[in-house]
Structure 1
Amino acid sequence: MANELKRLFLKVMFAMFSILLLVGFYGFIKGNRYIYWGVIISSILILLSGITAIFWIKLCKFCAPIFIRTLIKVSNNLSPIVNYLNNTRIIGPILSWCVKVTFFFWFIVLLLGDALIRVILSRATGIHKESGFHYSPVNASDINFQPLGLFENGEELEMNKRLYGDFFPHYNKKLALSLAMASKLAYEDVPIIQSELEKSGYDMNSFKPIAYRNVCGYIAEKDDNIILVFRGSNPLNIQNCLTDIRALLCKIESSTRGPMGLVHEGFYEALGEDLNESPPESQATIELSNASLVKTFETIFGALKTVMFFALQSMVTHIHDPVDHRYLGEDARFISAYSQATRWITKLCKEAEEDNEQEKNNDPGNERSNDVRQRKSKKCLYITGHSLGGGLATVFLAKLFQHNSPLLNNFSGIYTYGQPNIGDNDFAKIFGPEIGKKMFHHAYNNDVVTRVPMWAPYSNPPGNLVYMDASFSIYIYPPDPVTNLPIPVRKISYLHLSGILNLNVIRRMKNESWLRIFLRIMFPFFINDHFPGDYARAIREGTLERVIVGLPGQVGGFEKV
């Protein structure tokens, strides 16, 4: 990347000097001294600008190791002070609350200026080469979206099955990395998503973007695998935040399974219900007549009245019930995200069955090939998402249970990253141990989103907790084997040497982009740990240390795998 920037800089300098040389030569021939001196002054200014840019680049490169060494010294010196404050009963809690209040204040300021800030940030995020679209501010500091589409079983998964049998969670590290990238990709515009999926060998005829009001996602198929990806909160999007903060719990029931516990009201309603018919779109009809001068003015004023009323009604609708323009489609207003997803996935599954049946009819005698076709005809459905997207993914699976959907036969796993709590203990227990072995919610270090909402009766997300610390060590906590309740993630210490004062983070900063370092400085550690790029990096570079059965801190479970 650095060499490409250097070559680009030299090409720009060469092009500008070439243009100035031609202009100066033209002025010399014509004897125009204004052009001649103008070229000389411009050349000097460009040369000084180039020297200044090179100086600052070299200075930053020279100062980076000094900056990192300074942070390490500060971290080591502050460590005993922070440990002392954490053990105090008054000063420590007061300082901790000051940190929380300060962050909340600045977060509200950012929300109020979300539109302006997104416009400014989009100009500094870079452009995706294949599609020509700007990257999302969420991914601008880490624009790598590969690998995608890793569905084969890893060596760790096969070894664990042999050692521990079916009791061991069906965690696939390769698949977890691939779905983390897919969740990260969901924050981009649709052309970028299509380009990256096509690069990874996905069938683009199966691709479908999902848009329902302010909920977005996409579906794609590769070989016999289907992924359903929900996008997290669009950065600084106040409509997404309103969905997040509608944290009252609503009661859900199933006609076949009975009560299913309490679930986050905002997430549940955001997916919508499965409606058979779509309400008609609002339209306004205008009739004009020029039969007479009076009739002309009457119809003109009547048309203006209709237009004004339609505009006011539409603006109120879009403010109260917004649609994300980047995923906008004909289904975005009236067909729920749940309906769009289930109908499209069902269509893909039926097409596979029909192709298998046709092959079987063409070659009915080959029993071995029939068995292979039967296995291939059953699609594997994986559901994933980051942040809000992770919450929506889990609620989507709950809706499949609620409606006793045939797609449960295709469900092969759900991997979520940085998802918030979404329901109570009764909700967490409805999936049972068999489905629970395929459910994994990842929590990276001090990510605050994985700890909220924190009040009762909220419980941790169902299934297995996959915890990754700052050193990228990965620990899996299956649900309690007796009660099937999920294991809670440890609490955050707000007086802790995290972020740019954590030694593990400091050592990695030398390989990070300037924008990622800038974000680490600007945002508190418990927000920086929520970036989707850090989840993908922790899985890629991390090591699966233990699978721990029981509560955190207890001795036991499976040792290093």
Structure 2
Amino acid sequence: MVSKGFSDEYLIFHHEMIGFLDILSLIFLRRKLTSYKFVEASNATSLKFNNVRADWVSALILLLQKFLGFIKKPLKFTGIAVEYLLNLVSINGGIWSLIKNLATFSVKWPTPNSKEYRSFIGHIDGRTELHRSVPVSIYFQLADPEIGLNEDINHTDLFAMAAKLAYENEAYIREVVTESWKMNFVAYFDCWNESLQAKTTQAFMFTDKLLNTPLIIIAFRGTQPFDADDWSTDIDLSFLSLGKMGNVHAGFLHALGFKSSPTKRSTELEDQTQDLVRPLAYNTIRDSLKAQLLVHQNAKIIITGHSLGGALAVLFPALLEYNQETTLLNSMQAVFTFGQPRVGDETFAKYMESTAWLNYNRMVYRFDIVPRIPPDYSPISLFKHFGNCYYYDGWYKFEKMEDVPNPNYLDLTFWPTMYANAWGDLIKGTQMGKTHGEEYKEGFVSIMFRAFGLIIPGVASHSPRDYVNAARLGQTSYNKL
């Protein structure tokens, strides 16, 4: 993928190899971490972790990953069935119309991957129109007067909507970008993950205009609710080293095209001829960006994403920096993420904050679970956030801070508050249409998703719907942050 290799430091947890006795050993025997058969480490990392013993955090994470692997197939098929049924109802005009059509043998059957077919996320929030108002992005210093982007567009809403839209299929995305937004659809990327042996990384690119566009936007698809691999990646503790840039989450590197080698784990992100059947995300998107900048020489680049997509939005320009892609970096306007997990360690965070091109902003809604994972617990899990954090409360008032009030999801002292938050969000969701207008009215699927937060606190706060609401309703007492 790139022209030079990684440092020979890495730590990989093979959760698929772990057994029940291993979990008990992690908790009670607490042997040296690198002595376990499911832990793969370089010589350099083994020396650093020589005196580090297993702890309850690593045991819990590995147990969760093992469980996610166990339910992977049933969860996937449940997701397919749920999405199809939701589309069957919506394409027929609602449950009562569907019953009528069934009775009259005139049912409309949904076609997956068509422009009418929505994902589960799309049924939580089906809004496609952009919000045109005084942009809240003035608080995030994103409204560069020299960009020339339409001033009546709420820029933050555009990025949040793009991050949400990335969950959809190519035909649906193209339809929304061209017909609803009246913008220029450039490309859809469906890329290969060598580690998972599947196309698991999706993104799309669009511009404000066909000619002389001021802005090129890339949106990465995030964590899919019914994809166990996505959730397992989010919580994974494995890392690879980028040398002086620090350690980076291995799962996110795999998603961008890192190719594992069965004989050489310290391996490389190799520059290679693109496989049209199995394209790698970093190479493909990088080359597409270069082609766009040849056409739009003065354009600026925005990268966005929700959840796992936010992590990829952060890591993609980091790899550009690693490979010294100066032209692309000089055109980078900002990275803007929503509910993004941690990507690297403290060294990585400090390095990224020191780069001149970085304008990095992340939005966190209330008790969203994903920005609080992977956990930041010494000595094994050392992942850190960086950049500007904008924390939103339940009524979409936000404050700029270094990190959210309860940075680690595993801190049980916050769980009573998280459960109270889940009740508050559920009640609020049923009233949004009355208090804020028709465009904020929530349907059955959104309300049921909020109710799920009563079972696992923090999950419902991860909904892209709340991030779109935050972009549209966000208020602060500060004139400029």
TM-score, normalized by length of structure 2?
A: 0.65
Matched, 1:234 2:224: yes
Distance verdict in 2 for CA 1:419–1:504, change over 3 Å: closer
Q: Secondary structure at the match of 2:333?
A: strand
2:255 and 2:446 map into 1 onto residues whose CA distance is 31
8 Å contact kept, 1:274–1:336: no
Q: What corresponds to 1:249 in structure 2?
A: 239
Matched, 1:385 2:305: yes
List aligned pairs for 1:4-153, cutoff 5 A.
111-126=72-87, 131-147=114-130
1:275 to partner: Cα distance: 2.4
8 Å contact kept, 1:467–1:475: yes
Q: What corresponds to 2:283 in structure 1?
A: 339
1:121 to partner: Cα distance: 0.7
1:237 to partner: Cα distance: 1.8
1:215 to partner: Cα distance: 1.0
8 Å contact kept, 1:441–1:466: yes
CA deviations over 1:424-451 (Å, ceiling 9, x no partner):
1110011235647610111111111111
1:530 to partner: Cα distance: 0.7
Q: Secondary structure at the match of 1:461?
A: coil
1:418 to partner: Cα distance: 0.8
1:543 to partner: Cα distance: 0.6
Distance verdict in 2 for CA 1:192–1:108, change over 3 Å: same
8 Å contact kept, 2:130–2:153: no
Structure 2, gaps ≥5 residues long: 1-60, 94-112, 146-151, 193-198, 258-268, 434-441
Q: What corresponds to 1:530 in structure 2?
A: 462
2:358 and 2:73 map into 1 onto residues whose CA distance is 42
8 Å contact kept, 1:500–1:521: no
1:542 to partner: Cα distance: 1.9
Q: What corresponds to 2:174 in structure 1?
A: 194
CA deviations over 1:449-482 (Å, ceiling 9, x no partner):
111111335243221111111121111125xxxx
RMSD in angstroms over aligned alpha carbons? 3.7
Matched, 1:432 2:353: yes
Distance verdict in 2 for CA 1:432–1:494, change over 3 Å: closer
Q: What corresponds to 2:396 in structure 1?
A: 472
Distance verdict in 2 for CA 1:489–1:198, change over 3 Å: farther
Figure out how many residues of one structure are paired with residues of the other and give that number.
Answer: 353
1:151 and 1:209 map into 2 onto residues whose CA distance is 32
8 Å contact kept, 2:305–2:312: yes
1:244 to partner: Cα distance: 3.3
Matched, 1:517 2:447: yes
CA deviations over 1:277-321 (Å, ceiling 9, x no partner):
146xxxxxxxxxxxxxxxxxxxxxxxxxxxxxxxxxxxxxxxxxx
1:529 to partner: Cα distance: 0.5
Distance verdict in 2 for CA 1:522–1:236, change over 3 Å: same
Q: Secondary structure at the match of 1:447?
A: coil
Distance verdict in 2 for CA 1:233–1:346, change over 3 Å: same
Distance verdict in 2 for CA 1:158–1:252, change over 3 Å: closer
2:233 and 2:142 map into 1 onto residues whose CA distance is 42
1:332 and 1:474 map into 2 onto residues whose CA distance is 44
1:189 and 1:499 map into 2 onto residues whose CA distance is 35
Q: Match of 1:231, as an amino acid?
A: R
1:391 to partner: Cα distance: 0.6
Q: Match of 1:470, as an amino acid?
A: G
Distance verdict in 2 for CA 1:448–1:413, change over 3 Å: same
Q: What corresponds to 1:328 in structure 2?
A: none
List aligned pairs for 1:444-463, cutoff 5 A.
444-454=365-375, 455-456=377-378, 457-463=381-387
1:332 to partner: Cα distance: 4.8
1:175 to partner: Cα distance: 2.0
Distance verdict in 2 for CA 1:500–1:261, change over 3 Å: closer
8 Å contact kept, 2:187–2:205: yes
1:522 and 1:446 map into 2 onto residues whose CA distance is 14
1:277 and 1:399 map into 2 onto residues whose CA distance is 18
Match of 2:342 among 416, 421, 439: 421
Match of 2:249 among 241, 264, 269: 264
1:242 to partner: Cα distance: 4.5
8 Å contact kept, 1:444–1:468: yes
CA deviations over 1:13-39 (Å, ceiling 9, x no partner):
xxxxxxxxxxxxxxxxxxxxxxxxxxx
Q: What corresponds to 1:275 in structure 2?
A: 271
Identity of counterpart residues, as a percentage? 23
1:132 to partner: Cα distance: 4.6
1:158 to partner: Cα distance: 7.7
1:159 and 1:186 map into 2 onto residues whose CA distance is 21
Distance verdict in 2 for CA 1:116–1:231, change over 3 Å: same
Matched, 1:220 2:206: yes
2:352 and 2:371 map into 1 onto residues whose CA distance is 20
1:123 to partner: Cα distance: 2.6
8 Å contact kept, 1:186–1:230: yes
Structure 1, gaps ≥5 residues long: 1-99, 163-171, 254-258, 280-330, 353-376, 479-485, 547-558
CA deviations over 1:76-134 (Å, ceiling 9, x no partner):
xxxxxxxxxxxxxxxxxxxxxxxx99999996775341232122211332357995532
CA deviations over 1:140-176 (Å, ceiling 9, x no partner):
12101331899989665689999xxxxxxxxx99322
2:205 and 2:322 map into 1 onto residues whose CA distance is 21
